[in-house]
Structure 1
């Protein structure tokens, strides 16, 4: 087992691969050998193509920013990070273990309209927290919305997050963001002008909801406004979307209320 601070880490198996690294399932123990639970660990291992486009040192700085930004967004609908080792040969961080991701749920076609709208609300609340901190997520897609054993859905993967309050994201990092993003979830202004804003995150949320095929007509109109090709017709803030959702009488068990929208 690996040791880090007052913990021992035992890898179980790989959960997924990406251009910048991979995620594995681990068992976590304290220094006394007591089992703490199952978690996931994201390990930095960039592909050769990535290394050729940007220096390894910049990739490591990017990885550190990912951890810092995700940790700043402490919220019920944002995946928490618990440990970070940036000094390892392959830097890594440990986070809550997900049950699956939204793309798997979509593929399984196991969600009814009630579940879909509740997922929409949870995504909105998670991204609202990101925006309230002063960040843009820039990579919202079904693979980056994780489902946990409690039934909670949480925003994850902060690798392309931009801090709008400073210039810490380099031009090279933005270029990687464009190269690595999934075109379906990119607003036109990203593709043509590399322009990111709250509205580009809202566009991506709308596209994710299109993937879910919600049947409720009033909710469909909200989704269409989120994913309008013309940003002037899109919502400008997450609060606007939540306010409209409140006004709809779904006649279902939808977990939203005025107090929740303020969180």
Structure 2
């Protein structure tokens, strides 16, 4: 397809972005390398970085990472085409630093995009509001996606020697301190530092910010921002899942309505302690059983259950993990949940899946299939595909098949939804599970 330039819409890093009109009548964004802004000795490095941006951005198929629709890497200068954004998080912050008091959508979209990169062993290394683009959706919502992956991963022997503006490796106000002198040291925790700086923009107004500093804000976000931006990377969050859990708990304004005084007391115990002793766990399970006998939902307990709690029960009483995991799998399909909360559920479900036996793994996988399709949550749908794909243990695939048949689950309907939602064909499933679909040989 040919693209006709309409206007220049931005410059940054090492490219110029134009709005263009495609032959199909739709408008796109065309990013073109701008070697003229750099000295001649930097051009070879510049071309490698630009090509790397295109290659990596193509390989990360995720709604919260901006896709590459087309490219021409042999042109002089090279270019690639992306969807046309309606703006960026930087624009939103300049319009209203608090994001109208509703920051959850962009923040959780950023975390989902970072997680997609990290799962593939990639680091963004230049995360900042200008690199988070905004795309209106047909249903009236907005999707935020990460762009500008030119600094995603270091090449062998690469040093921070480019002489153009902002090419020494990231943007100082968002760059982790360990990357200031040696950009090859960037880990996933460098991206977490940058995310903490974005939190500081929103909840601290960016006030008093100096490059590479440990940051803080007032209020409930204080410990999260401080942990994200620790000078020592090992003291930051170890994973996106752990960061997402803490952030959601602070930003969630759901009021808990307790069913009994005992439930209120038990939830307080869970809130105050991530590593319960045997007596405390017995109290939790007694309440769970008592609620079940009375027909009372255990949703309050399941909601407060943390990633650390799941590891704690596995370490102290592994036999009890299975029972707790089964209850959690039932909770995951028990209600309609807030969109972002689906990610919190799936993070905890993943731990149960990783630590559980064959039976629990099958129940968790099917719960994620039902949760993802019922909420149209792409991330959770992909989670099921990873659990039940070609790399799935044959014994687990057979156990999932048994569960589907025994419980008469609408597996084929769910898979039709996944195919339409995330464009995953049935042949991505383990062969044993493909036999559950009509027309399977």
Query: Once the two structures are superposed, what CA deviation does each residue of 1:176-198 show, in whole Å capped at 9, x if it has no partner?
Result: 48625211111121124542111
Corresponding position: 1:117 with 2:124: no
* 1: CA distance, partners of 2:157 / 2:230: 29
Corresponding position: 1:207 with 2:201: no
SS at match of 1:162: coil
| Alignment partner of 2:225 out of 208, 223, 226 | 223
For structure 2, list consecutive stretches of 5 or more residues without a partner in the other structure: 205-216, 255-337, 351-378, 380-441
The residue number in structure 2 matching 1:159 is: 150
For the 8 Å contact 2:169–2:179, the answer to whether it is kept is: no
Deviates more, 1:228-237 or 1:214-223: 214-223
SS at match of 2:246: helix
For the 8 Å contact 1:162–1:169, the answer to whether it is kept is: no
For the 8 Å contact 1:126–1:155, the answer to whether it is kept is: yes
Which has the higher relative contact order, 1 or 2, with Cα contacts under 8 A spaced 6 or more apart? 1
The residue number in structure 2 matching 1:71 is: 58
The residue number in structure 1 matching 2:28 is: 39
The residue number in structure 2 matching 1:4 is: none
Q: Where does 1:240-255 land on structure 2 (aligned, <5 Å)?
A: 240-248=242-250, 250-251=252-253, 255=340
* 2: CA distance, partners of 1:152 / 1:170: 37
| Alignment partner of 1:179 out of 168, 184, 202 | 168
Q: CA deviation at 1:157?
A: 0.2
Q: Where does 1:181-200 land on structure 2 (aligned, <5 Å)?
A: 181-194=170-183, 195-200=185-190
For the 8 Å contact 1:227–1:234, the answer to whether it is kept is: yes
Corresponding position: 1:23 with 2:13: no
Corresponding position: 1:143 with 2:134: no
What TM-score, normalized to structure 1?
0.83
Q: CA deviation at 1:15?
A: 0.5
Q: How has the CA–CA distance of structure 1 residues 249 and 130 changed in structure 2, closer, same or farther, with 3 Å as cutoff?
A: closer
Q: Where does 1:100-111 land on structure 2 (aligned, <5 Å)?
A: 100-109=87-96, 111=99
Structure 1 consecutive aligned stretches of length 4 or more whose deviation exceeds 6 Å? none
For the 8 Å contact 1:82–1:94, the answer to whether it is kept is: yes
* 2: CA distance, partners of 1:52 / 1:189: 29
Q: How has the CA–CA distance of structure 1 residues 85 and 259 changed in structure 2, closer, same or farther, with 3 Å as cutoff?
A: farther
For the 8 Å contact 2:104–2:251, the answer to whether it is kept is: no
* 2: CA distance, partners of 1:245 / 1:143: 22
Q: How has the CA–CA distance of structure 1 residues 222 and 65 changed in structure 2, closer, same or farther, with 3 Å as cutoff?
A: same
Q: How has the CA–CA distance of structure 1 residues 192 and 92 changed in structure 2, closer, same or farther, with 3 Å as cutoff?
A: closer
Compare the two structures and name the one with the higher strand fraction: 1
* 2: CA distance, partners of 1:105 / 1:250: 21
Compare the two structures and name the one with the higher helix fraction: 2
* 2: CA distance, partners of 1:260 / 1:74: 19
SS at match of 1:13: strand
What TM-score, normalized to structure 2?
0.51
Q: How has the CA–CA distance of structure 1 residues 211 and 53 changed in structure 2, closer, same or farther, with 3 Å as cutoff?
A: farther
Larger radius of gyration: 2
Q: How has the CA–CA distance of structure 1 residues 249 and 205 changed in structure 2, closer, same or farther, with 3 Å as cutoff?
A: closer
Q: How has the CA–CA distance of structure 1 residues 175 and 130 changed in structure 2, closer, same or farther, with 3 Å as cutoff?
A: farther
Q: CA deviation at 1:233?
A: 2.3
